[in-house]
Structure 1
């Protein structure tokens, strides 16, 4: 019969295991730091997907053989990998030294600072051209091999047109979330190579590994290969798209999503329930939804207004379709037409059919984390 003394001894055993885990984590961090140094010296990419997949598969098999939940082991390993990638950011390999010096226009903004710091970690000479340096723009841009424009969408045209003439061998890049119009402006102003990038992340990332960057060809695309190689060294996933295709995709991925979140956030703000009340009785999935809504309102109102306004003319038809779908669903609910609702569900399910199992697994992991965060609060 177990007693309180047994409980104390068992807890002491857990404490000992935890202490060993911390020591092992410290050892692992030291090793991954050394690996990062070697990658910096050799120019190897931070992310090695084949190695990551093989490591996870091997550890899952070991977990099963020892009666440990493989999902738990994979969760722990992925979290450790994220920490390792973050630790390896201090000094990074330089893939295209010929791109130096680099000038970041709008480099005092959050995204400009993010890119500036990353380029500097890879050994590039980086200069900043923002409002406070405008009087010295000609000198700052003299001899630049890469000029990256990191300004709000609605300011891009006027900023680019105000730049002094760049050398013909300078690579001109923009990182806005719209690509057709900015690329047209860049090509009209600059005679040399042009490329459009859309980083699918914000300035608050902890590391660049697995971050997606959409690449849209502008002019003399071969000149941009060094920059693209540098992004891959940092661990980014590159997706090359035609600018028109990109903008059409962003109308759904960004504009419609942000609009929906923006409207839902306003709706919540008008309700009689406080956010604390809603959170106190929310399921993990609603807790996650609240996090994503709250995330939008924790960021720049100017940024999200610009994103929605920049392509509003192009999404009017999509918005009308969305409103129509909402109205049709409301009519089915008013009529109590369960068969019609189930039919609509089946139609939407068919669209997701190839990915439902994958999404279910991924979302389960996210929901567990959302629930953990709620308990910790």
Structure 2
């Protein structure tokens, strides 16, 4: 019996080595594809291609009596590793002769664009909001600038906007503020050149941004800045066009409500003297999730949190709706309205199918 097992294990070892050789050949092919994409400015990540690969291989797996979920999991791991190997060069620079790009920022979103633009070979001048002297610096730093990327407080933005008229003709303004209804309209009212609004929908601390997304809003003269949207896609990031009303509505659920919930949750922990260390003994995974949320909450810019919570026009009304809904759920639970609660679960389940 032992000899039979060893014989079978030897065959498995041979197959494992063959599998490694196949994966090595696949990675070598991926590197060649990456070089072609680099030379032609093509994006690394093509969602349709990945989806088709997974769908076809799952169908083939079923025919061979293999779990399609197992194959899907393996392929996603292989494909994600392949993307890393595809990115063997710096990103293709779509506008190699473009003038210097100025970034004025007060948080990590500005640093993200600084990093990606430098990797792509653009000339960058980066200034932190706290180091910007509006009266002394603006006239100097606005000379020979092709693009200004702005992500500052509303107070600072009001001062910068007054100086936008001295920018070179057709200089592109990129607004990164999450509060587009305030910032975007303020810029468009004064500046008559090309304006684009962007908002990343991902963790900017990451080093690799494939399969991530950015929302964009057209402001004015989109033909002048359309190349920049293509440049973002070359980075492997998906872009989604959205109007200003939907943008601020979505940001409420993506950012404002999240901050409100975390802020409330942390306060409840503090008031009730809940120990995260004791929770970790009961449930390690849940504690890790808590710590991740809490740490990220305290690391980022506190002023940004306050602005997102307080300066969105409809935030108070939306938070009130949220609290009313919580009260309604509590009423159903308190009065044992099991059928209605079951209907809510069913509706949620159907939405996420």
User: Aligning the two structures, in what range does the TM-score lie when normalised by the shorter sequence?
Assistant: 0.7 to 0.9
Q: Distance in 2 between matches of 1:85 and 1:228?
A: 21
RMSD, aligned α-carbons: 3.3
**Is 1:193 equivalent to 2:189 in the alignment?**
no
Is this contact kept in 2: 1:200–1:213, CA < 8 A? yes
Whether contact under 8 Å (1:94, 1:123) holds in the other structure is yes
Whether the aligned pair in 2 keeps the contact of 1:165 and 1:190 (CA below 8 Å) is: no
Aligned to 2:246: 245
**Worse overlay, 54-63 or 43-52:** 54-63
Q: TM-score, normalised by structure 1?
A: 0.78
State the Cα distance separating 1:77 from its structure 2 match: 2.1
Please tell me whether the aligned partners of residues 153 and 310 of structure 1 are also in contact (alpha carbons under 8 angstroms).
no
Query: Which of 112, 115, 119 lines up with 1:114 in the alignment?
Result: 112
Taking structure 2 as the reference length, the TM-score comes to 0.83
Query: Structure 2 stretches of 5 or more lacking a match?
Result: none
Distance 2:206 2:192 in 1: 34
Whole-Å separation in 2 of the counterparts to 1:219 and 1:275: 49
2:223 alignment counterpart? 222
Q: Distance in 2 between matches of 1:114 and 1:150?
A: 11
Q: Number of paired residues?
A: 348
Decide whether aligned partners of structure 1 residues 327 and 58 sit closer, same or farther in structure 2, where only a CA change above 3 A counts. closer
Q: Distance in 2 between matches of 1:305 and 1:18?
A: 54
Gaps of 5+ in 1: 358-377
Structure-2 change in CA distance of 1:349 and 1:79 (3 Å): same
Which residue of 66, 69, 80 maps to 1:82? 80
The correspondence for 2:339, drawn from 320, 327, 342, is 342
C-alpha separation in 2, matches of 1:287 and 1:18:
37
CA contact (8 A) 2:174 2:195 kept: yes
Residue 197 of structure 1: how far off its partner (Å): 0.9
Question: Aligned-pair distance for 1:143?
Answer: 1.9
> How far did 1:172 drift?
0.5
Deviation string 1:159-190 (CA, Å, 9 cap, x unpaired) is 44456821121011111211111112222342
* Residue in structure 1 matched with residue 315 of structure 2 by the alignment: 315
Residue aligning to 1:69: 67
Q: CA deviation at 1:324?
A: 2.1
Contact 2:90 2:119 in 1 (8 A): yes
CA distance in 2, matches of 1:94, 1:354: 44
